[in-house]
């Protein structure tokens, strides 16, 4: 019989299955584990693709429709699963039925993978969720935390909440520890979407009418996230439940622009436009949702995860933006 002391020692998983391994976050986690030596099986959706797979990558069909046999093979021998795959938030929706598309990609895949994990006796299931489950706007001075009542405002956030609840229900009464990480905007080398658009605008010295924005928003550097995933996998006992993650300090948009400009070595070209006028312009141009997010607070409290795992975001905003700027310059051969 093992002594009490052995239970206090960190148990590093022998093998971790990583879904969504070819996405922005997945590539960063793969690179982090390749450096640290953690054994992993990277699951990618490249079946039939002419693009050669990297070592350790395993192609698969859509996880929502893969057979149980294929799912069992994906998780065979694994001690943990890190589930990043899913349908990301879409700004310009093209699906005929967005609710169904999000549920298939975000809920059904989680359910089916969790069932396979239970069948295989997997110990931990880390699910990448979204802070949008908490809502679109935090109250100034009061950050979102895992104990706050969910308030998802769109089909994407609803699907993430449903995935969280389905995972918890499937894991109940089994050895599987469900660990949910609600993430804010994640940035770093390889970032896309609105952050890349802002990075491009700053790098090209465009005038940005954002100097009057005061609301602060939490971000998460992808390297800090990779280390948080390690903490979720290694902490004893397993940090089951819902956690919110973010870098140490939220940032107001004008300060983010100035920090990006400093990292890129260009001037920050900011002009003050009253926030109500910005929002009106967004409404007129069809970008109301994007402007609303830019001008409202969304702060995240990571204290529960820090207390459960000992994780702290080691990379500062300035250092993370410097890394992102180096990637941008390489991408544009500057």
Rounded (5°) CA angle 208-210-213: 170
Q: In terms of Cα–Cα distance, which of 9, 41, 11 is closest to 230?
A: 11
Question: Is 156 among the residues known to form the active site?
Answer: yes
Compute how many other C-beta atoms are within 10 angstroms of the C-beta atom of residue 6: 9
CA distance 256 to 296: 14
Helix 222-234 to helix 317-331 angle, to the nearest 10 degrees? Answer: 120
SS3 331: helix
Residue 243's DSSP bridge partners are 181
The verdict on whether omega for the bond into residue 237 sits within 30 degrees of 0, i.e. cis, is yes
Instruction: Select which of 102, 156, 187, 221 is catalytic.
Output: 156
SS3 241: strand
- Bridge-based pairing of strands 219-221 and 185-187 is parallel
Is residue 167 within 8 A of residue 178, CB to CB? The reply is: yes
Active site residues: 156
């Amino acid at each position: 019989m093992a002594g009490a002391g052995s239970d206090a020692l960190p148990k590093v998983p022998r093998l971790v299955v990583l879904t969504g391994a070819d996405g922005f976050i997945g590539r960063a986690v793969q690179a982090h584990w390749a450096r640290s030596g953690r054994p992993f099986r990277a699951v990618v959706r490249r079946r039939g693709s002419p693009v050669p797979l990297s070592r350790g990558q395993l192609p698969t069909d859509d996880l929502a429709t893969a057979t149980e046999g294929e799912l069992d093979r994906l998780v065979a021998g694994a001690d943990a699963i890190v589930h990043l795959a899913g349908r990301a938030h879409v700004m310009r929706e093209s699906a005929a039925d967005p609710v169904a598309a999000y549920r298939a990609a975000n809920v059904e895949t989680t359910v089916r993978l969790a069932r396979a994990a239970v069948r295989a006796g997997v110990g931990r299931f880390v699910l990448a969720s979204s802070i949008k489950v908490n809502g679109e706007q935090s109250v100034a001075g009061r950050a979102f935390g895992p104990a706050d009542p969910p308030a998802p405002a769109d089909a994407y956030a609803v699907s993430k909440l449903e995935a969280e609840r389905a995972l918890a229900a499937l894991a109940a009464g089994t050895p599987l520890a469900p660990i949910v990480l609600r993430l804010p905007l994640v940035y770093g080398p390889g970032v896309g979407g609105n952050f890349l658009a802002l990075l491009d605008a700053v790098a090209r010295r465009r005038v940005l009418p954002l100097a009057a924005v005061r609301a602060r928003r939490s971000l998460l550097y992808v390297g800090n996230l990779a280390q948080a995933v390690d903490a979720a996998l290694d902490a004893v006992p397993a940090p089951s439940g819902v956690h919110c993650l973010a870098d140490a300090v939220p940032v107001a948009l004008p300060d983010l622009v100035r920090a990006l400009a400093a990292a890129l070595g260009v001037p920050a070209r900011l002009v003050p436009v009253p926030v109500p006028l910005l929002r009106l312009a967004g409404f007129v141009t069809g970008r109301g949702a994007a402007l609303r997010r830019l001008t409202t607070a969304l702060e995240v409290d990571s204290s529960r995860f820090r207390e459960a795992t000992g994780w702290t975001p080691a990379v500062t905003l300035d250092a993370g933006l410097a890394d992102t700027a180096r990637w941008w310059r390489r991408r544009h051969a500057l």
